[in-house]
Structure 1
Amino acid sequence: MKYLHLPVFLTEVLENIINDINGIYIDTTFGSGGHSFGILKKISNQGKLFAFDQDQFAIIKNTNQICDKRIRCFNDNFKNLQKILKNYKKNILKNVSGIIADLGVSSYQIDTPSRGFSIRFNNILDMRMDLSKNKSALNIIKTYSLEKLNNILSKYGEFQNPQRISRKIVLNRQFINTTLDLVNLFKRNNNMKFLSRLFQALRIEVNDEINALKKLLKQSINILKPGGKLAIISYHSLEDRLVKNFFQSGNIQGIIRYDKKGNNLSPFNKKYTQRIFPTKKEISKNNRARSAILRITQTHKRKKERSLN
């Protein structure tokens, strides 16, 4: 087996989530298969791997490389993880040893001009990870009101004053069709940081990424077994902050709750919760790693857990 690109934090992920070579593991973002292939090399013949990806092309293109009875692939969004696993086999829930999620855009999506994710290629503004969905970045540009554009630019692009950007888009939307049209509209702001935040805001809105992540985090408590590991790789502060707060509290709101003895009621063990940054060596080999943060946690090993959603 071989994978098409170098996955971010491969060594760190494998070292931290493989705690039972006979266990069940889930790769929620299969992409080009890097993490999945790594897991398959580590687990035994009795181990199992379930791989998910909402991008039809990732599943069709990359699973063709796999001839392994230990893996089962699903073409679906990880927000539906619990439902799909339950329908597939009920006893999987609460029996999973490890879950990995590598958030953001896959290398394949970025490097495919027709997908419209990158400012490097001039193509129709699309940005859909799941091509069966109707909403694209172009649809947002053409139809969203000034108020809705302000909202997504503020929330997902973290622009402090998005009104000027939104107004310019609304006034010129009839001339915007491609990635280059949007880039040229903001020539004075034509720097990578500004454009990255603009494209990020549109992409997150198109794919409802933050809500999907929230659902994945909440479901992980009901899927992992006691002592199970959860590893999340994020690429911007919105995702990382959400993951950090969830690992600390066990709930999406990030509210830490305590029992009468003052013990944190989070289902995760603080002792095994860690944050890992890419090394200079990894960044030099894989430029995609430069903004990545890996957070890993483990559920308590006691049998009875309390879910605070």
Structure 2
Amino acid sequence: MTASPHAPVLIAEVIEALSPKPGETMIDATFGAGGYTRAILSTGAEVIALDRDPTVQPHADAVAKDFPGKFTLVRTPFSGLTEAFEGSGKARLDGAVFDIGVSSMQLDQAERGFSFMRDGPLDMRMSDQGLTAADIVNTYEHGPLAHLIKLYGEERQSGRIATAILRRRQSQAFTRTLDLAEVVEKALGGRRGAPTHPATRTFQALRIAVNDELGELEAGLAAAEASLSPGGRLAVVTFHSLEDRIVKAFFTERSGNAPGGSRHAPVAVETRKPSFTLLFKGAREAGEDELAANPRARSARLRAGVRTDAPVWRAAA
């Protein structure tokens, strides 16, 4: 069996939440190097894997060889989950797992442009289509650029960073990752012993914007709700607060645990039945052994639920 170059986080907890069984069908919405997929396939279940990254194909070929007839890869983002499942011809979907964000495998590939620690083209696309990070930093005006960095990077100095980017691009366009990282670092006054690189939040913001990660997450959760059969399990692993807020709000609302209005402003009685029951309260985190072996797990959070037989919740108009 081919080893995975990327260790999936919270793998034991994810498999416990999904509880895959022989003959069941599961979706791995973030195939990557196939870590979750292999663990699910090893239980006897079948997997439909999704990934918009064309570079994962060699890993998919290896999985298909090791588990013939049990695995299919569909090149699509989260928003294509329903179509991928319907195209499989399967009668029911018993589980789905999402591992949100950029993988260490992508960060390690300098040519992808995700890392501020390795020089590469300023790209950041998980697929091979759409705007690049270079397109954004070279064309956005100050206001929209500062807003993007603040919103998606939670960067308090977004205005100062946007000013530095616009000033520099007047003489030379940005094309390389280390070039942008240096400009951001100087704009924030250098590292000064900071535990994280000053460009961390800016690079996160650009990556999220380039790939519409939060929009795709919301669309993927809705697609999973629509596609999972009653009793189907949904497990979602997040790595930063923006993602986790979306997932937490989704499960809180869909499980009927959203807070009501105050006595001064009561809300209309909710008639929709919960479409999920929570597998456990709150989020699960990595244990000490996993943290020692895989530092990437430090910020990981797992939330999970079980699909009820209630109708799909439609977004408010």
TM over 0.5: yes
Change (3 A) 1:175 1:305: closer
Change (3 A) 1:256 1:21: farther
Aligned to 2:244: 240
Aligned to 1:57: 55
Aligned to 1:125: 122
Paired residues of 2:273 and 2:310 also in contact (CA < 8 A):
no
1:184, CA displacement in angstroms?
A: 1.4
Structure 2 length-normalised TM? 0.86
User: How many equivalent residue pairs?
Assistant: 296
Matched, 1:40 2:44: no
**Unmatched segments (≥5 aa) in structure 2:** 262-266
**3-state SS of the aligned residue for 2:8?**
coil
Aligned to 2:69: 69
1:196, CA displacement in angstroms?
A: 1.4
Deviation digits for residues 98-151 of structure 1, max 9, x if unmatched? 1011111122211011111112211111111102x1311111111111121022
1:96, CA displacement in angstroms?
A: 1.1
Aligned to 2:12: 11
Paired residues of 1:273 and 1:298 also in contact (CA < 8 A):
no
Aligned to 2:203: 199
Aligned to 2:295: 287
Matched, 1:156 2:162: no
**3-state SS of the aligned residue for 1:225?**
coil
Cα distance in 1 for partners of 2:259, 2:72 equals: 36
Cα distance in 1 for partners of 2:141, 2:46 equals: 47
Paired residues of 2:30 and 2:98 also in contact (CA < 8 A):
yes
Aligned to 1:268: 276
Cα distance in 1 for partners of 2:259, 2:41 equals: 37
1:245, CA displacement in angstroms?
A: 0.4
Change (3 A) 1:238 1:38: same
1:4, CA displacement in angstroms?
A: 2.1
**3-state SS of the aligned residue for 1:226?**
coil
Aligned to 1:249: 253
Equivalent position to 1:305, from 300, 311, 315: 311
**Unmatched segments (≥5 aa) in structure 1:** none
Q: State the identity as a percent.
A: 32
Change (3 A) 1:182 1:304: closer
**3-state SS of the aligned residue for 2:94?**
strand
Paired residues of 2:17 and 2:279 also in contact (CA < 8 A):
no
> CA RMSD for the aligned pairs?
2.3
Cα distance in 1 for partners of 2:162, 2:199 equals: 14
Paired residues of 1:116 and 1:124 also in contact (CA < 8 A):
yes
Letter in 2 for 1:23: E
Paired residues of 2:279 and 2:304 also in contact (CA < 8 A):
no
Paired residues of 1:244 and 1:295 also in contact (CA < 8 A):
yes
Change (3 A) 1:81 1:176: same
Matched, 1:106 2:78: no
Structure 1 length-normalised TM? 0.88
Q: Decide which moves more: 205-214 or 145-154.
A: 145-154
Q: Decide which moves more: 27-36 or 67-76.
A: 67-76
Paired residues of 1:227 and 1:299 also in contact (CA < 8 A):
yes
Paired residues of 1:248 and 1:256 also in contact (CA < 8 A):
no
Paired residues of 1:273 and 1:297 also in contact (CA < 8 A):
no
Letter in 1 for 2:115: S
Paired residues of 1:53 and 1:74 also in contact (CA < 8 A):
yes
Letter in 2 for 1:80: G
Matched, 1:140 2:132: no
Alignment of 1:174-193 (within 5 A): 174=172, 176-185=174-183, 186-187=185-186, 188-190=189-191, 191=194, 192=196
**3-state SS of the aligned residue for 1:233?**
strand
Aligned to 1:81: 81
Cα distance in 1 for partners of 2:18, 2:79 equals: 20
**3-state SS of the aligned residue for 2:76?**
coil
Letter in 1 for 2:200: S
Cα distance in 2 for partners of 1:28, 1:111 equals: 21
**3-state SS of the aligned residue for 2:16?**
helix
Equivalent position to 1:278, from 283, 286, 290: 286
1:78, CA displacement in angstroms?
A: 1.7
Deviation digits for residues 76-115 of structure 1, max 9, x if unmatched? 11211112322342x54xx211101111112221101111
